[in-house]
Amino acid sequence: MFKPKFRYTNKIVRLLTKISASREIILSSPLIPKWEVALRREAIIRSAHSSTSIEGNRLSFEQVSNLAQGREVTATQKDKQEVLNYLNILENIGKLIKGSSILEKDILNIHRMVTKGTLDNPDDCGVYRNRYVVVANRLTGEVFFRPPKNEDVPGLIEDLVKWINLEEAKELDPILEAGIVHYEFVRIHPFVDGNGRTARVLATLILYLRGFDTKQFFCLDDYYDSNRQAYYRALQSVNQKSLDLTQWLQYFTEGVAVSINAVKERVIRLSSERLRKAKRGQIALTERQMRIVEFINQNGKITNRDVREMFKLSDEGALKEIKKTIRLGVIKSQGKGRGLHYILQ
């Protein structure tokens, strides 16, 4: 039976506390609006770009963004399909399983979705490997890791699935559970290809199911892609005899902290101190209204001319946007005549 080994270090505890505080700021912010759809969309696009990039996909972030909007990009069919698969799976993360239990058939289906139309042998899609593979540098041939034998894969996955659904696992902080599953899945390496992407989807799914990231604001894959060598070193830091995951979990938890802090900083820019203390609850703003608030936070005030230039509007159109935001009680006017401007309430 699978039973993870790790220690709660000062660093892990400190990071979990920091993550909890940042997450609370994000979820309780009075200015998380309808525009949270845009935050979610951006996180999904970044994840799709970063997770496929780690595996050698050559599409730029701009190309991934264009694909997500249904635009055509110049690239190989395989590169485009890998990204489209990942976008599809993240956009439907809440529909990947029925109920709250992750089953073996779900893992096979996730791999099928991740690798659809991208493998040299289509028969390998959603099927455990039937030939031995190693993790190696594609350029030098240097072997980084030798996974378990083919015949051991089904039993190891069965053990992992059993552990995921135990109360023992669900009592852990969801970040630690996601990190443990991420590593163990990569260690088992159950498929011929697509193991890394499938592992990262599973980690994301666990954070979603455990209620940590139900709004999908956080992009963990950006952290891995920003320093791929550090990602691989962290995976290789686990001693294969003791399988002590402490060092890996420190790295994984730090990645979550960096990701959530980036979202927190953005939310703080969109919230004034007064609004956060007012405890009015969430205010639904359009994207334009959010940009007006962000401009005021950065510059202290905004004028009709600023709004006009920002959105390429007429004087009348700019004034209409401003009045809508005033009616919501988010901004107010100050000064008169040429000195008229607007500040946060």
Q: 340's torsion region: left (phi>0), alpha (psi -120 to 50) or beta?
A: beta
User: What phi and psi values does residue 281 have, to the nearest 5 degrees?
Assistant: 95, -175
Task: Using alpha carbons, select from 104, 49, 92, 115 the residue that is nearest to residue 208.
Answer: 92
Beta carbons of 81 and 50 less than 8 angstroms apart: no
- CATH 1.10.10.10 domain position(s) in the chain: 285-344
pLDDT reported for residue 42: 86
From the centroid of its chain, how far is CA 240?
28
Q: Is 189 a catalytic residue?
A: yes
Own/partner contacts of 260-266, CB < 8 Å, gap of 24 or more, are: 260/19, 260/22, 260/23, 260/26, 260/218, 261/18, 261/22, 263/22, 263/26, 263/39, 263/43, 263/217, 263/218, 264/22, 264/23, 264/25, 264/26, 266/39
At the top level of CATH, which class does the domain 10-269 belong to? mainly alpha
Look up the pTM and report it: 0.78
pLDDT reported for residue 34: 52
- CATH 1.10.3290.10 domain position(s) in the chain: 10-269
pLDDT reported for residue 143: 73
pLDDT reported for residue 30: 64
* Fold adopted by 285-344: Arc Repressor Mutant, subunit A (1.10.10)
Alpha helices, DSSP H, located in 55-131: 61-68, 77-91, 104-115
pLDDT reported for residue 139: 65
Of 111, 182, 189, 341, the active-site residue reads 189
**Mean pLDDT, each 10-residue run in order, the chain (345 residues):** 95 96 82 65 91 92 91 94 96 89 96 96 95 75 82 97 95 96 96 94 94 85 87 88 95 94 79 54 74 79 91 90 87 88 86
Q: What is the DSSP string of 31-64?
A: T--TTHHHHHHHHHHHHHHHHHHHTT----HHHH
- At residue 52's C-alpha, the angle toward residues 115 and 218, to 5°, is 110
pLDDT reported for residue 244: 95
